[in-house]
Every structure is written in structure tokens, then in C-alpha cells.
Amino acid sequence: MSRIGKQPIQIPAGVTITVGETEITVAGPKGSLVVPVQQNTKTTVDDDKIVVTRENDEPESRAWHGLQRALLNNAVIGVTKGFEKKLEINGVGYRLQGGGKQIEMALGFSHPVKYSAPEGVDLKVDKMTITVSGIDKQKVGQVAAEIRSLKKPEPYKGKGIKYVDEVLLRKAGKAGKK
């Protein structure tokens, strides 16, 4: 059995789950998400929990089993609590402004860099910190990665965009002449 796949998912109050042929709809107080049904898996909804089972014990089926359970769990957490990632901008002359769906950054280039968030993702700006939030874990992570890729942190001075909890390995600069 998959260690993750065999664990049931508790359904919080206010969340409704509809299982269809090709997709599972999870609706809650923050919105609604659609999770595709993975091959060789079967999802059943009991009173207050979701149980994912698989049809056979093949390695591919075991992999789909764990994935299906993880996607459903992320959807349930997303429609109740939501997800967020925080990014921090470090660097002399780097600026940040905007919020909502679009932000504008000065990152040391000859032009300002604008970023527009896709539907379902919100951007919040607080001084030199960007908070990416939404109900879809994959979208939130993708937007945070795209913003970070605009100016990755460099190892000498640490200038650039990094996750708040990211630890940068710093390098020593040039050694002086003796």
C-alpha cells in the first residue's frame, strides 16, 4: 500500500465533494477546485472522510494512488485555508510597488519589470516582500517560481528575489593581493 494513499482525508465542515467519472469537484468557503481522476484509482466519500483505493498492485497504480490522494488533500486544504508563499527582494536600488493582480519591480535592469498574476492568484506587496496567495497550490507555487526567476539571488551579495525561508549559500569574494 502507498503510505500516503492509504490515509483517509478528513472533510472539514462547509466542504462538499462531488465525484464524477473523470473529475472530482471540491467546493468550500474560499472557492471551488476540480481534481482530475487518475487512472487505476477509485475515490469514495464516506460521512466525513475521503478514501482513495487502487485497482491493482502494479508500480504505476501505486504511484497514481499516492498522487490522487495528495491532489485531493491539497484541494481540501486550498478551499478551506488557502496557500501562500512569501518572496523577499534584496538589493540596493531595487523597488517594488503594486498589488492585487499586477506588480511592478525595479530590479537593476534598464527598464521596470511588470508581472501580472493569472486568475485565482493574488499578489500582496509589503515594503520589500511579495505574498503570493490563492486556493490552488500548484498555481501559487508556479507564480512564486516565475517571480523568483525574474532575478535569482546571486551568491556574493545575495541580491535578487528569494523565498523568505530560503537559505542562500554565500561565497567569499576575490582574495586580495599579498
pLDDT (0 to 100) of residue 2: 61
Task: Indicate if 93 and 44 belong to the same structural domain.
Answer: no
Q: What is the pLDDT of residue 59?
A: 86
Reduce the DSSP state of residue 104 to 3 states and report it: strand
pLDDT tens-place values along the chain, 178 residues long = 568 888 999 999 889 999 998 999 999 999 999 999 988 889 999 889 999 998 888 888 888 999 999 999 999 999 999 999 999 999 898 999 988 899 999 999 999 999 999 999 999 999 899 999 999 999 999 999 999 999 999 999 889 999 999 898 888 888 777 6
Helices (H), the chain: 59-80, 137-149
pLDDT, residue 99, reads 82
Same domain, 150 and 90: yes
How much is the pLDDT for 121? 93
Do 69 and 37 have their domain in common? yes
The reply to whether 43 and 94 lie within a common domain is no
Q: What total number of domains does the chain contain?
A: 2
C-alpha to C-alpha distance for 18 and 34, rounded to whole angstroms:
10
pLDDT at position 119: 92
Cross-sheet strand order for the sheet of 9-10: 9-10, 49-54, 41-45
The confidence score (pLDDT) of residue 63 equals 87
E strand segments, the chain: 9-10, 16-19, 23-28, 31-36, 41-45, 49-54, 83-90, 95-99, 102-106, 113-116, 121-126, 129-134, 160-163
Rounded to the nearest 10 degrees, what angle do helices 59-80 and 137-149 cross at? 90
Q: Would you give the DSSP letter of residue 117?
A: P
Last residue of a domain, one of 24, 55, 80: 80
Question: How many Cβ atoms from other residues are within 10 Å of residue 66's Cβ?
Answer: 20
